[in-house]
Amino acid sequence: METVQYLDDTGRPLRELPFNPEELRQGYRALRRARHFDERALVLQRQGRLGVYPPFRGQEAAQVGVALCLQANRDWLLPSYRESAAALTFGMPIHKLILSWRADPAGWGAPPDVNMVQFYIPIATQIPQAAGVAHALHLQGQGAVAAVFIGDGGTSEGDFHEGLNFASVFNVPLLVTVQNNGWAISVPTHKQMRVQRIALKAQGYGIPGVVVDGNDLVAVWSVAREAVARARAGQGPTLIEALTYRVAPHTSSDDPSRYRTEEEAEQWKQRDPILRMKNCLLHLGLWSEEEEAELGEALEAEFQAELALADQAPEPNPWEIVEQVYHKMQPDQEAAWQYLRGEKA
């Protein structure tokens, strides 16, 4: 299968880009914003101010390119743990994301105007659910779409298959983006599946499957834009395989040296999606180092303001454990709640 690409490995455009200058600048800013978040999050994690954190470094373009095509108050996003960049770009406030990775319940519910379901931890369960959400959107007839993400490893789960089958049978407006980052923790893609291209699996469902250079924002964005347009027009789901690489460890608890070489990661760092996009803009004369510096400062200011918001959130109370289990507390939760309030002997 052919891999859709717009930029070469250094970022030089290979052909005419299907976005206007302002769009391209907007795309780059979104990428940088994601990278900034990831870097800061890792710092917080090391300071003990975040729980286990799954970084996405290297995968920004694959996530941002899709999220840029979505409208948070209309479309839906169902991300796995890896997709903080997609969440951020989609519209999740940074302080919510921080709280979420702090495992603070205050971070779990998206704002009312952001249709994002909390990051999925069990692998692949989001796929059938996304098919259901997309079917609902279709029935509601407003042209909204759902977008769901999964990793290369996740494609092995039965739910990936069942979800894609439902999506295709009901012809729902859904984008399924597989971030093929080469690894599922320590298991390389070739031990995960025998097929070379995950997008080939789309043929088994009778839906379009596209392979895209996942480190090329322009490519991901344009492929996603087409898929979203198709979906909005009632033409059903698309499977997008974004070829990318997890430059960072699996999570903040992982040690990648146990299973892969430094060289492999180094090679991929050369194809860094942010560098490529920046070079593209520079090449087209759409960006300057001044703007770069300004952007860095703006992002840091934004992050710090959001961090302050997150830090203001009160510590979760023990009795919150049994809240929001049912719409109305049932007797067993009520008893536990009373106990946890310290009102029980």
Partner 1 sequence: MIAERETRVLNNVQAINEALDLALAKDPRVLLFGEDVGTMGGVFRASDGLQQKYGEKRVFDTPLAESGIVGFGIGLAMAGFRPVAEIQFAGFLYPALDQILSHLGRMRHRTRGRFTIPMVIRAPYGGGVKTPEQHADSPEALLCHTPGVKVVIPSSPERAKGLLLAAIEDPDPVFFLEAIKLYRGVKGMVPEGYYTLPIGQARVVREGQAVSLFCYGGMVEVCQKAAEVAAREGVELEVVDLETLVPLDTPTILESVRKTGRAVVVYEAMRTGGFGAEVAARIAEEALDYLEAPILRVAGWDAPYPPFSAVENYYRPDAKRVLEAVRRVLAY
Q: Return residues touching ligand TPP (CB under 6 A).
A: 82, 121-123, 151-154, 179, 181, 183-185, 246, 250
Instruction: Give the residue among 192, 230, 194 at the shortest CA–CA distance from 209.
Output: 230
CB of 270 to partner 1, least distance (A): 25
**Residue showing tokens 């698309």:** 238
What CA–CA distance (Å, rounded) separates 87 from 308? 20
185 binds, among its own copies, ligand TPP, Mg ion, none (CB under 5 to 8 A by kind): ligand TPP
- Please tell me which residue in 246, 258, 260, 327 is annotated as part of the active site: 246
- Tell me whether residue 53 is one of the annotated catalytic residues: no
Burial class of residue 270 (count of CB atoms within 10 Å of its CB; 0-12, 13-18, 19+) = exposed
82 binds, among partner 1, ligand TPP, its own copies, none (CB under 5 to 8 A by kind): ligand TPP
- CA 55 to chain CA centroid, Å, is 11
CB of 253 to partner 1, least distance (A): 8
Beta carbon nearer to Mg ion, 123 or 146? 123
CB of 177 to Mg ion, least distance (A): 12
Beta carbon nearer to its own copies, 194 or 258? 194
Contact present, 133 and 78 (Cβ < 8 Å): yes
Burial class of residue 194 (count of CB atoms within 10 Å of its CB; 0-12, 13-18, 19+) = exposed
Contact present, 197 and 1 (Cβ < 8 Å): yes
- Tell me whether residue 190 is one of the annotated catalytic residues: no
- Please tell me which residue in 259, 271, 327, 339 is annotated as part of the active site: 259
Binding mask of the shown chain, residues 207 to 226, with x at each position contacting its own copies by CB under 8 A: x-------------------
Nearest to ligand TPP by Cβ — which residue? 151
250 binds, among its own copies, Mg ion, ligand TPP, none (CB under 5 to 8 A by kind): ligand TPP
Residues contributing to the site for Mg ion (CB under 5 A): 151-152, 181, 184
Contact present, 137 and 163 (Cβ < 8 Å): no
Contact present, 72 and 116 (Cβ < 8 Å): yes
CB of 180 to ligand TPP, least distance (A): 8
324: its two tokens: 């929001």
Tell which one of 63, 84, 192, 238 touches its own copies (CB under 8 A): 192
What CA–CA distance (Å, rounded) separates 166 from 81? 23
Is 193 a residue that touches its own copies (CB under 8 A)?
yes
Could you write out the DSSP letters of every residue in 75-91?
A: SEEE-BTT-HHHHHHHT
CB of 246 to its own copies, least distance (A): 21
What CA–CA distance (Å, rounded) separates 131 from 175? 9
- Tell me whether residue 29 is one of the annotated catalytic residues: no
Residues of span 174-193 touching partner 1 by CB under 8 A: 184-187, 191-193
Beta carbon nearer to ligand TPP, 129 or 181? 181
**Residue showing tokens 């930029």:** 7
Q: Is the dihedral of CA 299, 301, 302, 308 positive or negative?
A: positive
Is 2 a residue that touches its own copies (CB under 8 A)?
no
